[in-house]
Amino acid sequence: MKHRAGKAAGMFVLSAAMTMLLAATASVSAADQIAIGVGCTTGSSLRLRAEASTSSSVVTQLDKSVAVSILGKQDGWYYVGFDGKSGYVSAEYVIEDQDGIFTAPGRINGDGVNVRASADPDAQAVATVNKDAAVTVDGFADGWYAVTCQYGTIGYIRSDFVDLVSDEASASGAADIATQYLGTRYVYGGSSPSGFDCSGFTMYVFKQMGVSLPHSATSQWQSGKGQKLYSASELKSGDLVFFNDPSRSNGKACSHAGIYMGGGQFIHASSANSGGVIVSTLTSGYYNTYFVGGMRV
């Protein structure tokens, strides 16, 4: 398996009875099932099918060289999960990982998920992450993923709480979380769903991703938490964006912050006309004039 998705591999063997049980549950979300291994796709536009048959309906298509969780095996087919979906792929187009060491992007699919010190449900919880938080999956063993959270904590999460995803899906997690709070009122100093100011909003969203940010636009810009981007053309969904209107900044580096959504739009908590959490256009007007840069955490 290529090291972006892993080095080819399989981990352990299920009993025949368990294999048949997993194979029979294609209609159940991958989020409800513990993986028995990890594989890497070898074909482009690979069809993920609802049943183990070339005549079965197509659930979605998979790109080449992406990591998939292996949930079961049946007559030359792998039953796999990817990006919250599950289905069957011909074993001809999947290489199964053999050593449990690989790197792949992942996304948390539930709230209050514990990151544990070892691959054991009774092990100490070293952190808690929420739905849509991005993690890097560094390996697999006995139904658990070894993970690195975005703020650097290393630990283990049971595989049914992590969806293996594409790089693009992982990166956009902050924007996905942010849109859940559209319409929330603006409150100066606010940093909760009862009311946000601009940096309180970005701080709250990234906290759900496992990233700790300070509570001011300037402090976030100067925090050193990520890679700074100085051109709007470099931005990707999920990047922080910063602005500085000299009339509002009191001499500080930034006066406003938001989260880029792609397509020239960003989401932010605006004090203008009691707007609250809204979506605005980055590339024209006020925000284009005062754009300072972005930051990829």
Buried b (16+ CB within 10 A) or exposed e, 166-180: beebbbbbbbbbbee
Q: Are 152 and 126 in contact (CB under 8 A)?
A: no
What is the share, in percent, of the chain residues with pLDDT greater than 70? 87
Over residues 45-63, the mean pLDDT reads 91
Predicted TM-score of the model (pTM): 0.55
Does residue 209 or residue 238 have the better pLDDT? 238
* pLDDT of 172 higher than 80: no
In whole angstroms, what is the distance from residue 26 CA to residue 251 CA? 58
Strands 265-270 and 77-82, by their bridges, are unpaired
Give the number of other CB atoms < 10 A from CB of residue 215. Answer: 15
The sheet carrying 8-9 orders its strands as 8-9, 94-98, 37-41, 67-74, 77-82, 85-90, 46-49, 58-62
Most confident residue range from 25-39, 162-176, 222-236: 222-236
In whole angstroms, what is the distance from residue 235 CA to residue 217 CA? 18
In whole angstroms, what is the distance from residue 98 CA to residue 71 CA? 15
Q: The tokens of 212 are what?
A: 């700790």
In whole angstroms, what is the distance from residue 47 CA to residue 64 CA? 11
List the catalytic residues.
Answer: 198, 256, 268
pLDDT tens-digit series, residues 112-171: 999 999 999 999 999 988 887 888 999 999 999 999 986 678 999 999 999 998 876 665
In whole angstroms, what is the distance from residue 242 CA to residue 254 CA? 6
Q: What is the pLDDT of residue 255?
A: 95
In degrees, rounded to 5, the angle at the alpha carbon of residue 137 between the alpha carbons of residues 226 and 114 is 90
Residue 72 makes CB contacts below 8 A (sequence gap 6+) with 14, 19, 21, 22, 23, 25, 36, 78, 79
What is the share, in percent, of the chain residues with pLDDT greater than 90? 56
Over residues 194-212, the mean pLDDT reads 91
Residue type, 197: D
In whole angstroms, what is the distance from residue 254 CA to residue 213 CA? 15
Q: The tokens of 25 are what?
A: 């549950």
pLDDT tens-digit series, residues 92-111: 999 999 998 888 999 899 88
Q: What is the pLDDT of residue 150?
A: 66
